[in-house]
Structure 1
Amino acid sequence: MAVTHSTFTLERRYPAPVEQVFEAWANPEARKRWMAQGAEHSQDFTVGGLEVVKGFDGEGRPLTYEARYAEIVPNERIITTSTLRAGSQLSTTSVTSVEFQPDGTETVLVLTEHGAYLPGQEQPEWREQGTAQQLDTLTTEFKRP
């Protein structure tokens, strides 16, 4: 079976300035709330730093997501390279860019992910759906008191 290659782009508008949206991505406590709910999470938000999320899939198998920060331009963009493992087996590897664009008092966020999905593992549609849900959950960070 062949490796599946896939690219998707998601765009969201948030009712907050770019600095606040970027901070929700950069701050480990905020990031865990909207991105890694119910999972073990660590984040070294520096170029070369590593973010690790450990949890379980719907069938109870351990999943480990690791992302290395390749570039961070405050309030403009974040680029990561990442892997997802199911147990000890590599499932996917990807390159993701997140761009933050001011639009008046709001922020337009554009996330583009290029992935290689190994045979019999995660499907591109699953990744896109999960990432979309995380970006939708990010909205709750701007409703906090």
Structure 2
Amino acid sequence: MTVLHSTFTLERTYPVPPGQVFAAWADPATKARWFGAGEGHELDFRVGGRELTRGRTPDGKPLAAASTYHDIVRDERIVYTTTLTGGDVLATVSTTTVELVPDGEGTRLVLTEQDTFLDGAEEPAWREQGTGDWLAKLGKELAGGLSGPSGSAEG
């Protein structure tokens, strides 16, 4: 039985204003396109609201990420906690802070995640890589690449 703690910060700059980046987190259909891969995605984006993403581990066991939103400041900040389970085994517990900072005509997103990894079920490097991957998908969404041309994203 082991416990490993890790913290990482990722920064990305998107060529759209903070309100547009915030909307991509807040709208269930939009967030499902860039974040909700797997077998299902549910989002109740409000303080006290929950998000659930389901999928499968590489060996076919059910995988679930369940988040609760604790702080939401429109166009500025999102704070949530997440548990990740594989099968019936709790793998990680994390706290994530997303900051949206105006950067010229765009937005600098600063994501800081503090993780508790339990019993070797997940590795810090895997989590950081996965988070970076979905931030890249967010960038494609904001550029209109995941949903097709929408006219709402510049890039």
TM band (smaller chain)? over 0.9
Tell me which moved more, 92-101 or 54-63.
54-63
Match of 1:61 in 2: 61
Partners of 2:2 and 2:120 within 8 A in 1: no
SS in 1 for 2:111: strand
Gaps of 5+ in 1: none
Following the alignment from structure 1 to structure 2, what is the Cα–Cα distance between the partners of residues 45 and 113? 19
Tell me the CA shift for residue 59 of structure 1. 2.2
Match of 1:24 in 2: 24
Match of 2:2 in 1: 2
Q: Does 1:12 align with 2:12?
A: yes
Tell me the CA shift for residue 140 of structure 1. 1.4
| Deviation sequence 1:35-71 (CA, Å, 0-9, x none) | 1123300000010000000001222221100000000
One-letter amino acid of the counterpart of residue 118, structure 2: L
Corresponding residue pairs, total:
145
Tell me the CA shift for residue 104 of structure 1. 1.3
- Residues 82-101 of structure 1 correspond to what in structure 2 (within 5 A)? 82-101=82-101
Match of 2:153 in 1: none
- Residues 1-145 of structure 1 correspond to what in structure 2 (within 5 A)? 1-144=1-144, 145=149
Partners of 2:37 and 2:55 within 8 A in 1: no
Gaps of 5+ in 2: 150-155
TM score, norm. by length of structure 1: 0.96
Tell me the CA shift for residue 120 of structure 1. 2.5
* Runs of at least 4 residues off by over 3 Å: none
One-letter amino acid of the counterpart of residue 42, structure 1: E
Tell me the CA shift for residue 142 of structure 1. 1.9
Partners of 2:38 and 2:54 within 8 A in 1: no
Following the alignment from structure 1 to structure 2, what is the Cα–Cα distance between the partners of residues 58 and 36? 17
Following the alignment from structure 1 to structure 2, what is the Cα–Cα distance between the partners of residues 108 and 120? 33
| Deviation sequence 1:54-109 (CA, Å, 0-9, x none) | 00122222110000000000001000011000011100001000000011111000
One-letter amino acid of the counterpart of residue 43, structure 2: Q
